Amino acid sequence: MSASILIIDDDMELCALLSEFLQLQGFQTHAVHDGAEAVSHCKANRYDAIVLDVMLPGLQGLDVLRSLRQFSATPILMLTARGEDTDRIVGLEMGADDYLPKPCNPRELAARLRAILRRFQGTSGEETPSELAVGQVRINPSDRSATYADCDLQLTSAEFNVLQALLSAAGTVVDKESLSQQALGRPLSAYDRSIDVHVSKIRKKLAAQGADKLIVSVRGIGYQFAITREDS
């Protein structure tokens, strides 16, 4: 069954162009052009992924993102103005999974959506990895849940992917390029802070449960999930 994509953008001509291309690529699409309407629509309908423009009339894209994350874990890819790093970083901090600058290449959008869906849903035909635990941190790939001391960390799809990559290599350094490939399904571009922001969010969610300093920064390289004496 083809994946269903919701496009939230006030540019009707762009929505029609992206929808037509994505449908030719095998996706099902639906478009909404207003932020408040999009939130209501998402409460009544389910999609496999959402494409969200940051610049919307009325309820802004970041406000829509904040509202959606209160009730939905659906992967969200933001469309941001080229060069607007602040919007990208804030969006990732608020729970977006990835971003593309506008105007975007429809082929790249389709590729990004496939990468997000592949990591969110699991690749067809692959055996689901078994549950993984390091200390009190535990992840279950079958339902994509992550807990610390049995408390749900409520990770986004991208955050789950990052944590899974770090736990799988616990005790060793994982470079940012590898994390980007494993978690986002794409190379890390110049000045791209996506991985840094996702790691920061994971750290905050762990700290809220009383667990800090579990993910160590290795300057100029990447990150390491620390193994304590109690874990070994």
What are the pLDDT digits (tens) for 133-183?
A: 999 999 998 888 999 999 999 999 999 999 999 999 999 999 999 999 999
Report the pLDDT value the prediction gives residue 122, as an integer from 0 to 100: 59
Share of the chain above pLDDT 90, in %: 71
d(CA 164, CA 222): 15
Return the axis-axis angle of helices 85-93 and 61-68, rounded to nearest 10°: 10
State mean pLDDT over 99-114.
91
| 112-to-50, 208, 215 alpha-carbon distances in Å | 12, 31, 27
Greater confidence (187 vs 222) lies with: 222
* Fold adopted by 4-121: Rossmann fold (3.40.50)
State yes or no: pLDDT of 230 exceeds 80.
no
* Of the ranges 116-120, 171-175, 211-215, the best mean pLDDT one: 171-175
State yes or no: pLDDT of 125 exceeds 50.
no
Q: What is the CATH number of domain 132-225?
A: 1.10.10.10
**Mind listing the pLDDT tens digit for each residue in 9-20?**
999 999 999 999
Report the pLDDT value the prediction gives residue 129, as an integer from 0 to 100: 65
Alpha helices in 106-219 (DSSP H): 106-121, 157-168, 176-184, 194-207
Residues of the chain with CATH 1.10.10.10: 132-225
Residue by residue, DSSP assigns 83-117 as T-HHHHHHHHHTT--EEEEES--HHHHHHHHHHHH
Residues of the chain with CATH 3.40.50.2300: 4-121
State mean pLDDT over 211-228.
92
In this prediction, residue 98 has a pLDDT band, given cuts at 50, 70 and 90, of very high
Look-up: residue for tokens 């496939």?
114
In this prediction, residue 57 has a pLDDT band, given cuts at 50, 70 and 90, of confident
Q: What is the DSSP letter of 128?
A: P
Report the pLDDT value the prediction gives residue 180, as an integer from 0 to 100: 94
Other beta carbons less than 10 A from residue 182's beta carbon: 17
